[in-house]
Amino acid sequence: MSDFITVMRETCPTPVVNATKWTRIGGDPHTVNLNAYLSADGSKIMGTWICTPGKFEVNYDKWEFCHFLEGYCIITPEGEEPKHLKAGDVFVIEPGMKGTWEVVETVRKYFVFA
């Protein structure tokens, strides 16, 4: 395998349960991360995130790319209107975004933090 290309079907992610650093502020959400890629310097991570219904307070210090495969959530940046996101949506969250992330229906998404 090349050092320049990582094919995700060749990875064997280990499930990490409830590893989110976000503060739970509503409901009883539980998460599972299937981390498929971590850069050598630890600055980039890619995988699948699954979360049951509940609400978190969030404070992003990294850029995140998301592709929702299942579910529905509402992300509300401080001082802005809520963003309603559902299966099929692709979006980016910029560093510095503070607010809330509410999972209404269990979410499964691909993510990349960089």
pLDDT in tens, 7-34: 777 777 888 888 888 999 999 999 999 9
> Pairing mode, if any, of strands 31-38 and 23-27?
unpaired
Q: How does residue 104 score in pLDDT terms, banded at 50, 70 and 90?
A: very high
**Any idea of the CA torsion for 76, 94, 22, 88, to the nearest 10 degrees?**
70
Contacts of 8 (CB under 8 A, 6+ apart): 36, 37, 46
Give the mean model confidence (pLDDT) for residues 87-105: 97
**31 vs 50: CA distance, rounded Å:** 5
pLDDT score for 102: 98
Structural domain contains residue 37: yes
* CATH number where 13 lies: 2.60.120.10
Name the residue range of residue 34's domain: 6-111
**65 vs 90: CA distance, rounded Å:** 8
**3 state SS of 53:** coil
Structural domain contains residue 18: yes
Give the mean model confidence (pLDDT) for residues 61-76: 97
**95 vs 73: CA distance, rounded Å:** 19
Structural domain contains residue 22: yes
What is the reported pTM? 0.87
Burial class of 51 by CB neighbour count within 10 A (0 to 12, 13 to 18, 19+): buried
Structural domain contains residue 42: yes
Structural domain contains residue 1: no
**90 vs 92: CA distance, rounded Å:** 7
Q: How does residue 84 score in pLDDT terms, banded at 50, 70 and 90?
A: very high
Q: How does residue 1 score in pLDDT terms, banded at 50, 70 and 90?
A: very low
Number of domains in the chain: 1
pLDDT score for 82: 98
pLDDT cut 90: percent of the chain above it: 75
